[in-house]
Amino acid sequence: MWGGRFAEGPAAVMREINASIPFDKRLWRQDIAGSRAHVEMLAAQGVVSAADAARIGEGLAQVAAEYEAQGVPEDLALEDIHMATESRLAELIGPAAGRLHTARSRNDQVATDFRLWVRDAIDSVDRGLKALLQALVARADEHAASVMPGFTHLQVAQPVTLGHHLMAYHEMIRRDRSRFGDARVRLNECPLGAAALAGTGFPIDRHATAAALGFDRPTANSLDSVSDRDFALDYLMAATQCALHLSRLAEEIIIWASQPYGFVKLPDAYSTGSSIMPQKRNPDAAELVRGHSGRIAGCMTALVMTMKGLPLAYSKDMQDDKPPVFEAHDLLALSIAAMTGMVETITFRTDRMRAAAEAGFSTATDLADWLVRIGDIPFREAHHITGRVVKLAEERGAALVDLPLDALQAIDARIDARLYDALSVDASVASRRSHGGTAPDQVRARIADARAALEDEA
Ligand code: ARG
């Protein structure tokens, strides 16, 4: 296609390093859509005849049908999806095919195709994340009042409700959707018509092609249009942040599923066995979600490094933008689907969670708070008294609620029997009614907000 000035063909290794068709064939739908919009615009502007445009349009439809039926052939000599399609078009319709590339370059073509692809990727991730949110909200509602230990430093800290814990992930995933949404807004400008780098002398209508392809407007600067990959980086950064969130939930599922915790049981559908240890039931899906997050972050880093320091406008380095985006997207889509499946089907062993919350002196803060409220003792002093109570409980191997009143009063005479009401894990969680706190009625209120927001979208 570009051999006019060359006497010899490329070396085999040149062909191989140069070709992107093995991976960019994944853009074929977007490439066909971009070409159709382009040729229709060219005809409307009188740059190509209506007859040629019709022939090209029919030819492109046939190429698309072939790709759909047989896949895209991988001919390294044709380099990329753009040339593969144009060359097949020429075989099908003859010389008129040569008019398609008028007022266009592969530089604006690939930028357009890739934006369209990433836009679809964002939309599909968003659908997946919405399903995950719905699953989290449903399970949180079921467990709005189920008590579990809340941790800091992975040490039992204060009792919380399982619903509250799950709704924490709802918040993370809600922000992830918003990040993808922001990326989509910035992405949605059309580079088609920037041509190689400087624009074109043909009387094209960039607003028409932008509208035909569902973009909000054409891009404003032709140099930027062919050299910008922010949209791919925005996607990868949002994907990385989202994968980090998924990895944290995955990690908790892994910890919770281990026998010493026993907080959850994963269904058979999301567990694997061991070939040597018959008793094993491994949380492989959760481990792979955790692992994939590292690979997704790696994809993000790869494109950051590719783009760093590139001069304007297009450089071939940028051909390497696609593999990390494709890889990250596939990994993220799988991770979201697997996490949604796990959240929907996991069994929470609320008896074990409650026992763990009761075992770890998790209501020690409630004891100190009681001393402040009822005894009007400064918090620092109350903290000190509580420390002595915890020490005593530890020595006796007893829970705080099980210490006799005389033993408590020996530590501080201001303690009376009303204290026991404050020491149960249920009383503890019920008391934390501050906005966004773990009290079951607070959790239910946040669940109602979340449901309303999800329904508002529909
Ligand atoms: N396959 C190329 C890519 O993905 C298309 C653009 C090629 N442009 C060029 N001037 N060689 O980036």
**Pocket-testing residue among 316, 320, 321, ligand 1, by greatest number of atoms within 8 A of Cβ:** 316
Summarize pLDDT for 178-216 with one digit per residue, the tens: 999 999 999 999 999 999 999 999 999 999 999 999 999
> Positive or negative CA dihedral for 308, 310, 313, 317?
negative
Q: Do residues 21 and 79 lie in contact, with contact meaning Cβ atoms separated by under 8 Å? A: yes
The answer, yes or no, to whether residue 349 has pLDDT greater than 80, is: yes
Of all protein residues, the one whose alpha carbon is nearest to atom 12 of ligand 1 is: 319
- Triad 32, 37, 38: Cα angle to 5°: 95
Summarize pLDDT for 107-137 with one digit per residue, the tens: 999 999 999 999 999 999 999 999 999 999 9
Summarize pLDDT for 409-448 with one digit per residue, the tens: 999 999 999 999 889 999 999 999 999 999 999 999 999 9
Which of 67-76, 188-197, 239-248, 355-364 is predicted least confidently?
355-364
Nearest atom of ligand 1 to the alpha carbon of 196: 10
Nearest atom of ligand 1 to the alpha carbon of 114: 4
Give me ligand 1 centre to Cα 305, in Å.
Answer: 18
- In whole angstroms, what is the distance from residue 226 CA to residue 322 CA? 15
Give me ligand 1 centre to Cα 21, in Å.
Answer: 11
Whether 274 is catalytic is: yes
Give me ligand 1 centre to Cα 98, in Å.
Answer: 18
Q: What is the mean pLDDT of the chain?
A: 96
The answer, yes or no, to whether residue 3 has pLDDT greater than 80, is: no
**pLDDT confidence of 403, banded at 50, 70, 90?**
very high
Nearest atom of ligand 1 to the alpha carbon of 24: 4
Give me ligand 1 centre to Cα 129, in Å.
Answer: 33
Average pLDDT, stretch 44-73?
98
- DSSP bridge pairs for 147: 161
Of all protein residues, the one whose alpha carbon is nearest to atom 11 of ligand 1 is: 316
Nearest to 350 by CA among 202, 218, 225, 163: 163
The answer, yes or no, to whether residue 166 has pLDDT greater than 80, is: yes
Assess whether the C-beta atom of 80 lies below 6 angstroms from ligand 1: yes
Assess whether the C-beta atom of 232 lies below 6 angstroms from ligand 1: no
pLDDT at position 9: 85
Give me ligand 1 centre to Cα 315, in Å.
Answer: 8
Q: Which of 49, 178, 258, 274 is catalytic?
A: 274
Q: Do residues 241 and 176 lie in contact, with contact meaning Cβ atoms separated by under 8 Å? A: yes
pLDDT at position 213: 98
What does pTM read for this prediction? 0.95
Assess whether the C-beta atom of 227 lies below 6 angstroms from ligand 1: no
pLDDT at position 272: 86
Whether 165 is catalytic is: no
Q: Do residues 79 and 18 lie in contact, with contact meaning Cβ atoms separated by under 8 Å? A: yes
Of all protein residues, the one whose alpha carbon is nearest to atom 2 of ligand 1 is: 319
Summarize pLDDT for 243-259 with one digit per residue, the tens: 999 999 999 999 999 99
Q: What percent of the chain has pLDDT above 90?
A: 93
